[in-house]
Amino acid sequence: MSDQFKISLPDGSVREMPAGSTPADVAAAIGPGLAKAALAARVDGELVDLTRPFTGDSSLALVTARDEADALELARHDFAHVLAEAVQALWPGTQITFGPSTDDGFYYDVMAPAGREPFSMDDLPAIEAKMREIIKADKPLRREVWTRQALIDKWAKDGESFKAEWAQELPEGEELSVYWSGDDWLDMCRGPHLPSTGKLDPAAFKLMRVAGAYWRGDQKNAQLTRIYGTGWLNKKQLDAHLTRLEEAAKRDHRKLGQEMDLFHLQSEAHGSVFWHPQGYVIYRMLEDYIRRAVQGAGCKEVKTPQVMDARQWEQSGHWGKYRANMFVIPDEVPNTEDEGPVISGAAEWMALKPMNCPAHVLIFRQGIKSYRDLPLRLVENGCCHRNEPHGALHGLMRVRQFTQDDGHIFCREDQIVEEVRNFCALADRVYRDFGFTYAVKLALRPEQRFGSDEDWDKAESELRQAVIDAGLATEEYGWEELPGEGAFYAPKLEWHLTDAIGRTWQVGTIQSDRVLPERLDASYIGEDGERHRPVMLHRAIFGSYERFIGILIEHYAGKLPVWLAPVQAVVATIVSDADGYAGEVMTALEAAGIRAESDTRNEKINYKVRDHSLKKVPHLLVVGKREAEEGTVALRTLGAEHQKVMPLAEAIALLKAEATPPDLR
């Protein structure tokens, strides 16, 4: 091996460095400023520690705080390690398990020492103080490679039973790394890490909450305490994040849903929504809107069964890949006697559908299809059930029963790109009607998948080409390819919406699937008179009504556009003498198709204004004796400082325009 390595830098220059050199040595050779700013390095594309020696000629890109994605990942990973070190320093005997970075921070799962209660929110200030002490000590973070047995012995000796169990399952002969924090604390970790704890900003993190977590995610195992934190590169970023969290809390759809009397959830139906009249208005308006949109795009609406035989799910592949998330039902009459088991255990199995696609294939298979019948676009507002863990349920955002605005396009190979491009245009119109901007991502083949590499190559290429043709494969639309994130049967395009406070939500998808038509034997007669497999495009725009409504509530902070608002206007009286006129105004509003209510309670007008403002009613039509005499109303719009007095006809025209769905204007 040569005693000199050629290190290629991003600017095209090449530096020769002696064997044994590290990225830190290159940074120092370039200049002291870069040596101080460098946090890690990408060597031949791999993110590594600054102190990892080169193993040969390499390309090198030094990572600094300007490389925000990499820098944040490193910082959050290090905050997690510092958290674990702090907990063990404060409470010797604490067992540590694992602590990854997250989208906005980090967590670590720990078990309190014997005789101590699990950690709680009360412990967080002390842990934070200890973490800052460790950061300010600027302890070097040093990597070592250990053998598997040395790791097992170390953890067993220290009473770290969870770590020892994990080490025992690591493969023999694999290079296993640990990281030291100074010379007195270490953790098993692949890395990479920052050069030292002092590279973290002690004012750029905050511990947020604690929660229960089971070892390895299995409720049969020991319960641990998960300590969550948020971590950033500097205090300015942390403060901005905390402000976003405050704003998000105000917008929480669960809180607003209760205040606005839209829906509720309760333990008698875990993960299923009880829609109240006001909430169901929103649901129905969305249903009407999307039905008009997809019918205009040439789709035909269908309805399919809730329960199907397990053999159908076996044939589709879902039984093997997805059974853990399915509700299964024995196909028998339960025992009605007091004695004996309710179910015999000998019955065939059926399942509540977790998705609609296999049923749509069965509709396609009815009768002989010709190439002239394609594309066939089927859509369904299909109710589905998925057996989500109780702890994962979250308001409308993650439920067990939900309704998808689901659709499947059966088409020929030569029709795929055009169909996907048309769907891109449809999705664009819909999301813009709801006030969202979005990014488009292409999720590519996962490691575990059905289908040949040739089919995956074609499917990915077709989706990519459609996005290019639609003009969406640009930086403006956040175009990005996501390796390994496709479904087991198909790659997919994803639409990620950005809401009013900058959060992103993955909502719409379209997937190009050659697997399911093959597995379920779907075919059409081609121009050549032979049988051919259609390609099946799975598509949704809202994703699910439940989650999309939750996103809308938070995006608009409950102040929904007038056309979506459950109550679009309230007629409120100042004095009882105006009750009769209020009835006339109500009649005129209802005749114009405006969803209105009247408030003739014996309350002061300021109380009524405040009450309906909390309920997010867009418009309040205030009427008193003067308005009754003149045929006017005092129009107060939610969020506006002043009211406007205008003739009733003018107010109705204004409200009617705002109450018209955007696709009908």
pLDDT of residue 217: 84
Maximum pairwise Cα distance, the chain: 100
Which among 357, 405, 421, 445 is annotated as catalytic? 357
Rounded to an integer, the average pLDDT of 536-553 is: 97
pLDDT of residue 187: 94
Cα separation, 166 vs 144, whole angstroms: 18
pLDDT of residue 2: 62
pLDDT band at 416 (very low <50, low <70, confident <90, very high): very high
Q: Which residues have a Cβ under 8 Å from the Cβ of 30 and sit 6 or more positions away?
A: none
Which among 139, 369, 538, 555 is annotated as catalytic? 538
* Size (the chain), residues: 665
Which among 70, 406, 499, 599 is annotated as catalytic? 406
pLDDT of residue 294: 96
Rounded to an integer, the average pLDDT of 394-402 is: 95
Which among 408, 441, 445, 458 is annotated as catalytic? 408
pLDDT of residue 343: 80
Span 82-134, pLDDT tens digits: 999 999 999 999 999 999 999 899 999 999 999 899 999 999 999 999 999 99
72 Ramachandran zone, left/alpha/beta (phi>0; psi -120 to 50): alpha
Rounded to an integer, the average pLDDT of 577-594 is: 96
Q: Are 343 and 335 in contact (CB under 8 A)?
A: yes
Q: Active site includes 408? A: yes
* Residue indicated by tokens 């057996």: 387
Q: Which residues have a Cβ under 8 Å from the Cβ of 591 and sit 6 or more positions away?
A: none
Cα separation, 505 vs 629, whole angstroms: 51
Decide: helix, strand or coil at residue 101.
strand
pLDDT band at 341 (very low <50, low <70, confident <90, very high): confident
Could you tell me the CA-to-CA distances from 248 to 114, 252, 349 in Å, in that order?
38, 6, 43
Decide: helix, strand or coil at residue 627.
helix
pLDDT of residue 615: 92
Task: Please classify residue 342 by burial: count the beta carbons closer than 10 Å to its beta carbon, then call 0-12 exposed, 13-18 middle and 19+ buried.
Answer: exposed
Which among 139, 193, 386, 449 is annotated as catalytic? 386
Cα separation, 218 vs 238, whole angstroms: 33
Span 25-81, pLDDT tens digits: 999 999 999 999 999 999 999 999 999 999 999 999 999 999 999 999 999 999 999
Q: Active site includes 365? A: no
pLDDT of residue 390: 84
pLDDT of residue 209: 95
Cα separation, 26 vs 232, whole angstroms: 27
Cα separation, 185 vs 141, whole angstroms: 10
pLDDT of residue 468: 95
Q: Are 16 and 4 in contact (CB under 8 A)?
A: yes
pLDDT band at 334 (very low <50, low <70, confident <90, very high): confident
Report which DSSP code applies to 52: P
Cα separation, 178 vs 159, whole angstroms: 17
What tokens does 639 get?
């969020």
Which among 492, 539, 595, 636 is annotated as catalytic? 492
- Element at 654 (helix H, strand E): helix 648-659
pLDDT of residue 344: 80
- What pTM value is reported for the model? 0.83
pLDDT band at 458 (very low <50, low <70, confident <90, very high): very high
Q: Which residues have a Cβ under 8 Å from the Cβ of 19 and sit 6 or more positions away?
A: 1, 2, 3, 4, 5, 53, 54
Q: Are 86 and 131 in contact (CB under 8 A)?
A: yes
Residue ranges in 174-307 assigned as alpha helix (H):
235-251, 253-259, 277-296
pLDDT of residue 391: 80
Residue ranges in 415-481 assigned as alpha helix (H):
416-433, 453-469
Residue 356 pLDDT exceeds 60? yes
Residue ranges in 524-578 assigned as alpha helix (H):
545-555
Q: Which residues have a Cβ under 8 Å from the Cβ of 100 and sit 6 or more positions away?
A: 77, 80, 106, 107
Task: Please classify residue 665 by burial: count the beta carbons closer than 10 Å to its beta carbon, then call 0-12 exposed, 13-18 middle and 19+ buried.
Answer: exposed
Q: Active site includes 404? A: yes
Span 152-195, pLDDT tens digits: 999 999 999 999 999 988 888 777 899 999 999 999 998 999 99
Span 571-584, pLDDT tens digits: 999 999 999 999 99
Which among 95, 404, 511, 568 is annotated as catalytic? 404
Q: Are 505 and 550 in contact (CB under 8 A)?
A: no
Cα-flanking dihedrals φ and ψ of residue 326, to 5°?
Answer: -110, 145
Q: Active site includes 390? A: no
Angle between helical axes of 545-555 and 277-296 (0-180°, round to 10): 110
Up-side HSE of residue 231: CA atoms within 13 Å toward CB? 31
Rounded to an integer, the average pLDDT of 296-317 is: 94
Residue 351 pLDDT exceeds 90? yes
Give the chain's mean pLDDT. 94
Residue 1 pLDDT exceeds 70? no
Report which DSSP code applies to 659: H
